[in-house]
Structure 1
Amino acid sequence: MRWVSSRELVVFGTASQAPTRYRNHNGYLLRWDGMGLLFDPGEGTQRQMVLAGVGAHDVHHICVSHFHGDHCLGLPGVVQRLSLDRVPHPVYAHYPATGAEFFRRLRYAAEFHETADLRERPVDGDGTVASGAFGVLEARRLDHRIDSFGYRLVEPDGRRMLPDRLADLGISGPDVGRLQRAGELTVAERRVTLAEVSAPRPGQRFAFVLDTRLCDAVFALADGADLLVIESTFLERDAALATEYGHLTAAQAARVAAESGVRTLVLTHFSQRYRDPAEFHDEAAAHFHGHIFVAADLTRIPFPPRLGSSGA
C-alpha cells in the first residue's frame, strides 16, 4: 500500500532499548509532500518499511539522533537497500559528528555494490542542517548520556488566496498566478495587491525529540509544532530512573507539549517494563489537552490540517 496523504508520519518501531513481541526498535518516516525523512532507523527498519508499504525511493533524508543501537542498527540494511533499489536521487544523512566512525562502520557493515548517492552531513552543533523549498531542517543538542540531537522541520510562511475576494475583483485563471508571482496586478485600471486577495498562511512545523532529559533544547524544538514526536520511555512513577538514564516520562513530554503550543502529541520509545499502553495516554492527558497518539508499530498518523482550514 502506498501513501494516501501528502503529509503523514509512518511508524516502523516504538520500543526502547530492547524490542518486544509487539514493538520493533525505533524507526519513523515523515512524508512531507514529495519528500521523505527517515528518523532513527533501528534494527529491523528495512523489514518494517516493507510491511508498511514504504520503499527506498521514498527516502530523501536520514536523520539519526544518536548512536545507541536501538536508533541506528537498521542503517546497514537501509543504506544497502538504497543501492539495491537504485534510488535515483541524492539521500542526505544527518547524524552527530562525534559518531562519524560509527556511521562509517554501519554504512559499510557488509560488502555490497554501492550505486546510491548517499551524502553525509554530520551535525556538530545547533542550527540548520538542510534547507530547500520544503523549508528548513534544524538540529539542537539534547541532554542524553552520549551526543544526541533532536530535529525540527519548519515550513516557510506563505499566503492563502481568498476565492471570494478574487471573484469580486474579477481575477481568475492565469491572472491569479501572475498576481502571486508579481505581488500586484492591474485589473480594469485598478492596481490590486496580493495582500488584498490573500491571508497569511503560517508554515507548518514538525519536531522529533528522542532520548533526552528535560532541557531547553526540548522546548525549543517543540515550540509551535503542529506534530511533535517525543519519547516517553517511563511513566512518572519512575521519574528518577528517567533522569538517571537520560529519558523523559509521559507526563514530562505532555507538559512540554502544553507549554510549547503543540497541536498533536505522539508518544513513543516505551520501556518494556510497562504492559498497558493506555497508561501513557492517561498520564499525558492529565497535562495536555490536544490530540494524543500513543504510537504503535506500522501505524500512520496524519499530519494536522493547517490552522484555519477545514477540519482544523
Structure 2
Amino acid sequence: MSVRELVVLGTASQVPGRTRNHNGYLLRWDGEGFLFDPGEGTQRQMLLAGVSASAVTRICVTHFHGDHCLGLPGVVQRLSLDNVRHPVHAHFPASGQEFFDRLRHASVFHETAELVEEPVARDGVIAEGEFGELRARRLDHPVESFGYQLAEPGGRRMLPELLARFGITGPEIGELQRAGSLRFGSRTVTIDQVSVVRRGQRFAFVMDTRLCDAVYELADRADLLAIESTFLEEDAGLAEEYGHLTARQAARVAAESKVGKLVLTHFSQRYDDPTKFYEEAKEIFGGEVVVAADLSRVSLPKRR
C-alpha cells in the first residue's frame, strides 16, 4: 500500500526550544523517502518518529545555514551503520560544495553506504524517476538557497460504468490504455470516452526566503505546501531584513497558488503561542492550515 505523508522531525528556526528541534522533514512518497533539511538532532528525531535510515532515498538541502544542515553528519554516518543497501542521492546548492564535504566527512567512520552527490547549480528538473520529477528553484535569501517541488506525472482514471456501456472488459482495458483507442467492427472507442484525466500530485518545500516569483512557482497547485513562516506579520520588517516570510505571506502564497493543504513551520523562538500563526494564516487562506509540531505526521490530501 502506498503512503504519502510528511513526517515532521523539527520545526524550529535558528534556535531550538524545549518542544521544537532544528529543522527536519521526511516526505514518504510511495517507495521513496525524501529527507529535507536535516538540522542538528535529526538522527535522534528520526528514531523518536519511528523513521529508519533505510527509509531515506534522497536528501535535499535548501541551503547551508546550520539549522538546515548540521544533522547531515549523523544521518550520513547512520546510513552506513545501518547498512543501507540502496544508493541515497544528495541534492544541495552547488555553491556550498565545501560545506557539504565538511559535513559528510565531519568525523571518522566506516563508510559503506553509497551517497550520490548531485549538486544543484540552476533552476529546473534535477531528478526523475517513478516518483515523477524533482524540481528546484532559487529563492531570495542572504545565502544561496533552493526550494524543491516534487511533481507526479498525470494519468487517466478509467470509469467502470463507461467501460461497461461499451462492453470493454478484461485485457481489452489494458489494450485501450496502451493504444489510446480500440476498434469494434465499424466502431472505434477512444480512451477519452471511458476515462477522465487524473492530475498528478505535487509537494512543495519552501524554506528561508523573502517573497519572490520562485516561491509562487514552487507552490503552484501543490497538494501539500510545507513553507517557512518564521515571523508573524507584526514583525514583517524583520522578516524582510533577514530574508524570511511571515505566516500571512505564506498564506497568501497558498491562496494565490491554489494549494490544497498548507503546512507552516520554521518558527522563531520569539513566539510562544503557535495558535497565532494559525489565526493569521486562516485570515487569508481558506483551505486546511497545519501549524507543524515536532514528530507529527501530515498526510497529503486526496487527489483533486
Please confirm whether the aligned pair reaches a TM-score higher than 0.5, indicating the same fold. Answer: yes
Question: Aligned residue for 1:310?
Answer: none
* Distance in structure 1 (CA, Å) of the matches to 2:195 and 2:108: 55
Q: 2:135 aligns with which of 135, 138, 144?
A: 138
SS of structure 1 residue aligned to 2:303 = coil
* Distance in structure 1 (CA, Å) of the matches to 2:202 and 2:166: 33
Q: 1:174 aligns with which of 165, 171, 191?
A: 171
Question: Aligned residue for 1:29?
Answer: 26
* Distance in structure 2 (CA, Å) of the matches to 1:201 and 1:305: 12
Specify the code of the residue in structure 1 equivalent to 2:8.
Answer: V
SS of structure 1 residue aligned to 2:28 = strand
C-alpha root-mean-square deviation of aligned residues, in Å? Answer: 1.3
Q: 2:247 aligns with which of 241, 250, 270?
A: 250
- Structure 1 residue runs without a partner (length 5+): 308-312
Q: 1:271 aligns with which of 264, 268, 271?
A: 268
The more displaced of 261-270 and 110-119 is: 110-119
Q: 2:157 aligns with which of 155, 160, 169?
A: 160
Q: 2:205 aligns with which of 201, 204, 208?
A: 208
- Residue 25 of structure 2 is aligned to residue 50 of structure 1: no
Q: 2:2·2:29 contact (CA, 8 Å) conserved in 1?
A: no
Specify the code of the residue in structure 2 equivalent to 1:298.
Answer: L
Q: Deviations over 1:81-138 (max 9, x none)?
A: 1111121211110000010010011111111111111100001111111012211111
Q: 1:38 aligns with which of 35, 59, 84?
A: 35
- Residue 147 of structure 2 is aligned to residue 150 of structure 1: yes
Q: 1:25·1:44 contact (CA, 8 Å) conserved in 2?
A: yes
Specify the code of the residue in structure 1 equivalent to 2:47.
Answer: V
Q: Say how many residue pairs are matched.
A: 304
Question: Aligned residue for 2:103?
Answer: 106
Q: 2:70 aligns with which of 73, 82, 92?
A: 73
Percent sequence identity over aligned pairs = 70
Q: 2:2·2:31 contact (CA, 8 Å) conserved in 1?
A: no
* Distance in structure 2 (CA, Å) of the matches to 1:5 and 1:27: 22
Please, what TM-score do these two structures have when normalized by structure 1?
0.95
Question: Aligned residue for 2:82?
Answer: 85
Please, what TM-score do these two structures have when normalized by structure 2?
0.97
* Distance in structure 1 (CA, Å) of the matches to 2:228 and 2:50: 25
* Distance in structure 1 (CA, Å) of the matches to 2:169 and 2:24: 45
* Distance in structure 2 (CA, Å) of the matches to 1:201 and 1:273: 43
SS of structure 2 residue aligned to 1:298 = coil
Shift of residue 5, structure 1, vs aligned partner: 5.8
SS of structure 2 residue aligned to 1:93 = strand
Shift of residue 188, structure 1, vs aligned partner: 6.4
SS of structure 1 residue aligned to 2:74 = helix
Specify the code of the residue in structure 1 equivalent to 2:179.
Answer: A
SS of structure 2 residue aligned to 1:111 = coil
Question: Aligned residue for 1:291?
Answer: 288
